[in-house]
Amino acid sequence: MADTRNPAIVVVDDEPDVLRAIARDLRRQYGESYRVIRASSGAEAVDAVQKLTERGDAVALVLSDQRMPDLDGVATLKRVAEIAPAAKRAMLTAYADTDAAIGAINSGRIDYYLLKPWDPPEEKLFPVLDDLLADWRGTWRPGFGGFRLIADRWSSDGHRLRDFLSRNQIPYTFLDVERDESACELASGATLPLVVTPDGAHLENPTNAEVAQASGLSQTAEREFYDLAIIGGGPAGLASAVYGASEGLKTVLIEREAPGGQAGTSSRIENYLGFPSGLSGADLARRGVSQAKRFGVEILAPVSVESIRAEGPYKILSLSTGSEVACHALMLATGVDWRTLPASGADEMAGQGVYYGAAMTEAIGCQDEHVFVVGAGNSAGQAALHFAEYAAQVTILVRGDDLAKSMSQYLVDRIEAHEQIEVCLGHEIEACHGNGHLERITIRDREGGGTTEVETHYVFVFIGATPQTDWLGDFIARDDKGFVRTGPDLTPEDLAHWPLARDPFLLETSVPGVFVAGDVRHESVKRVASAVGEGSVAVAFVHQHLASL
């Protein structure tokens, strides 16, 4: 029998023979790590999930049939989502019920559906459930082990550390000194925030690099020379790493914060091909890192590149760790950062109520709060829908006069239909106020000019992207906004010192052997799929460059 502390998989079907068969297959595949619990009706499954959560037991997955009397599969999984929102929900259904399953995916009730029969399970069942369970484990925080982070809820450094631990998939428990007496005892006399490692070491207000070292993340290159070095671990960088290493290139990926980049902070990506129920940015990052490591990619994080220089055909990277690595081909996939909020007091409130990106670690704290989302792109829309699961009200502030100008229609439709989300067009934040943390904001009507002061503790900002490329200096050509020009976008002035007889390849910069992919590229399409495509396509040009050396 599986350990009673193991997470639970609940399977429900009103046909006894089918229930026994699916439970048998699940126990054979997952019995060592999960408890498999059978339920013969939707009501019985809901009751089982309720009792498990009341005992504090983790529910990893609920797999339900659709056609059942009284409570069908869609209704069952909807009830499960209310009781155990972190549990993955899948439907095992006949072909005739696929419309109901797709409808349930669109309404957020299920994560996936599978068609009967599921034989052989090794091909038709286990691969899908493996992915769902891996996604669930990526965010599961068991109540023991891992790091402990003791901080004030409103500490900007505490937010930085929570964000770093979460985005790097490092298990931790957060203890708020304002609400947890044991946290006060543990942190007595220490400088906060305090990180307590699994072996008992105390790190007072540590840097991300110090936490990375304590957690075993690699920050030192194993080699001095690589065929391909990639700067940036977002979708473009991870795609380049996977394709480069899978084709035999010695590859290193250098990431200054956490794999996933800006996309890694997204609460949901729903229009990425092959994931009908969508996936979070954290899931995408975890999958990409696992795939890259499987092909032998060396990942250094958090490590930044301070400067680049060329010596003949070689590119030399000076790292923040004080060391250097060299490579034949270099891929720039540094992405972009969110622009800061141009409001009085916003800088002082950064990390203390004003957050850039989805800041997933803050979602639980938004319970029953009035949350403001600033921006009109897809990331803002997804964040609003995500925070609406926790907050009493979410208000989206949009400078323009039409949300649909910059947001996908499927998101606009869902936002307009959501009772807890309000959209304010033609409004912006003029000022942020608070003592130690955000307490209220001043909102200005751009057309009428009037202002309103509103109480809030949470503002999430998504107002455009800016490339952080100043560190490149004059090494490669950039446009007036800092985006890197490539291929046909390079001007004659950019190519004044181009040393080769051939023209630059499509994604090649003004320096031979230096390529660019993703959002940092001039005139790029700001979508995850296009970044992945550019990252993979660029590797083909890397091969052509290497062949010419």
Tell me the pLDDT tens digit for each residue of 174-223. Answer: 888 887 777 777 788 889 999 999 888 999 999 999 999 999 999 999 99
Q: Which CATH fold would you assign to the domain 147-211?
A: Glutaredoxin (3.40.30)
With tokens 């089918």, the residue in question is 18
Q: What is the pLDDT of residues 268-278, one digit of tens each?
A: 888 888 887 77
Q: Using pLDDT thresholds of 50, 70 and 90, give the confidence band for residue 1.
A: very low
Of 482, 527, 536, the closest CA to residue 266 belongs to 527
CATH 3.40.50.2300 range(s) for the chain read: 8-139
Tell me: domain 225-336+471-547, CATH 3.50.50.60, correct? yes
Residue 4 has a pLDDT of 53
Residue 358 has a pLDDT of 81
Q: Are residues 113 and 88 in contact, defined by beta-carbon separation less than 8 angstroms?
A: no
Q: And the tokens for 307?
A: 């400067």
CATH 3.40.30.10 range(s) for the chain read: 147-211
pTM for the predicted model, two decimal places = 0.83
Which CATH superfamily, name and number, covers 8-139?
Response regulator (3.40.50.2300)
Of 202, 29, 254, 53, the closest CA to residue 120 belongs to 29
Q: Are residues 92 and 13 in contact, defined by beta-carbon separation less than 8 angstroms?
A: yes
Q: Is the pLDDT of residue 9 over 70?
A: yes
CATH 3.50.50.60 range(s) for the chain read: 225-336+471-547, 354-465
Residue 142 has a pLDDT of 66
Query: Please, what is the average pLDDT of the chain?
Result: 91
Which CATH superfamily, name and number, covers 354-465?
FAD/NAD(P)-binding domain (3.50.50.60)
Task: Please give the share of the chain, as a percent, with pLDDT higher than 90.
Answer: 70
Residue 378 has a pLDDT of 92
Residue 141 has a pLDDT of 67
Q: Using pLDDT thresholds of 50, 70 and 90, give the confidence band for residue 2.
A: very low
Q: What is the pLDDT of residues 441-499, one digit of tens each?
A: 999 999 888 999 999 999 999 998 899 899 999 999 999 999 999 999 999 999 999 99
Tell me, what amino acid is at 43? A
Please report, for residues 258, 363, 412, 493, 516, the alpha-carbon distance to residue 347 in angstroms, rounded to integers and kept in the order given. Answer: 23, 21, 30, 38, 31
Measured at the CA of 267, the angle between CA 266 and CA 269, to 5 degrees, comes to: 70
The DSSP secondary structure of 16-43, one letter per residue, reads HHHHHHHHHHHHHHHTTT-EEEEESSHH
